[in-house]
């Protein structure tokens, strides 16, 4: 799965498990493809394209070397608590605070307030993906924008500002962009709009 973002429009979408994504774009729009562990990829929709445009964007793996991590084992939780309490602190008051925070009832509360574990987090993410796929046609429906009062308010404000009379969009359709562009070219194209 990858996240596809259109910075000019301020919207994006998450691809499905097969890497496919449906997104409303205009010819000349610049897209950014991102995913954890991969380098961002940049793509410009060709100016001369059909109503439905398909492209395969290859994600390049981005390996990062992390600094050394030292793991110190303690035989049990009690040894860890003792080592933690014997840390050098500035004064006795801080030592009492540390001892108070390691009280079992408070540790239980901290555990309940902690985030989900890895398996629960993955299950939650998977449930959200299934839900988004099930509701995909509802959110992608053009009729949704027609019945959305906030979309109408934004449209009316745009008309009042004179956005429909602007002609600065025409030069963008006269320049034929490259299919896959570098990050610097992408930013240059984005700033030119």
pLDDT digits (tens, 9 = 90+) for 159-168: 888 877 777 6
Q: How high is the pLDDT of residue 174?
A: 58
Q: Which of the given ranges, 4-18, 130-144, 173-187, has the highest pLDDT on average?
A: 4-18
Q: How high is the pLDDT of residue 92?
A: 81
Residue of higher predicted confidence among 95 and 105: 105
Confidence of residue 141 (pLDDT cuts 50, 70, 90): low
Q: How high is the pLDDT of residue 116?
A: 66
Query: Among the listed ranges 34-48, 51-65, 75-89, which one has the minimum average pLDDT value?
Result: 75-89
Q: How high is the pLDDT of residue 83?
A: 81
The answer to whether the beta carbons of residues 1 and 35 sit under 8 Å apart is yes
Find the mean pLDDT for residues 156-180.
69
Q: How high is the pLDDT of residue 42?
A: 92
CA 14 to chain CA centroid, Å, is: 9
| Cα 142 from Cα 158, distance rounded (Å) | 19
Are β-strands 3-6 and 11-14 bridged in parallel, bridged antiparallel, or unpaired? antiparallel
DSSP one-letter code for 165: G
CA 98 to chain CA centroid, Å, is: 37
pLDDT exceeding 90 applies to what percent of the chain?
4
What are the Cα distances from residue 16, in Å, to 1, 40, 47, 52? 6, 18, 26, 18
Q: How high is the pLDDT of residue 79?
A: 85
| Cα 155 from Cα 10, distance rounded (Å) | 15
Q: Over the chain, what is the mean pLDDT? A: 77
The predicted-structure confidence for 42-74, as pLDDT tens digits, reads as follows: 999 888 887 788 888 888 888 878 788 777 777
DSSP one-letter code for 163: G
Query: Among the listed ranges 25-29, 37-41, 68-72, 139-143, which one has the minimum average pLDDT value?
Result: 139-143
């Amino acid at each position: 799965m990858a996240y596809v973002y259109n910075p000019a429009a301020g919207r994006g979408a998450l691809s499905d498990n097969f890497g496919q994504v449906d997104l409303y774009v205009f010819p000349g729009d610049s897209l950014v493809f991102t995913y954890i562990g991969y380098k961002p990829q940049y793509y410009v929709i060709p100016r001369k394209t059909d109503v439905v445009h398909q492209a395969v964007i290859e994600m390049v793996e981005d390996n990062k070397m992390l600094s050394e991590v030292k793991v110190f084992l303690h035989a049990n939780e009690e040894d860890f608590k003792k080592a933690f309490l014997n840390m050098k602190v500035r004064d006795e008051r801080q030592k009492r605070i540390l001892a108070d925070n390691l009280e079992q009832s408070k540790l239980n509360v901290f555990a309940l307030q902690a985030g989900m574990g890895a398996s629960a987090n993955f299950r939650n993410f998977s449930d959200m993906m299934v839900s988004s796929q099930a509701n995909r046609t509802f959110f992608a429906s053009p009729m949704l924008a027609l019945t959305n009062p906030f979309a109408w308010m934004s449209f009316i404000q745009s008309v009042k500002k004179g956005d429909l009379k602007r002609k600065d969009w025409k030069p963008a359709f006269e320049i034929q962009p490259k299919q896959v562009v570098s990050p610097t070219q992408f930013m240059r194209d984005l700033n030119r709009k």
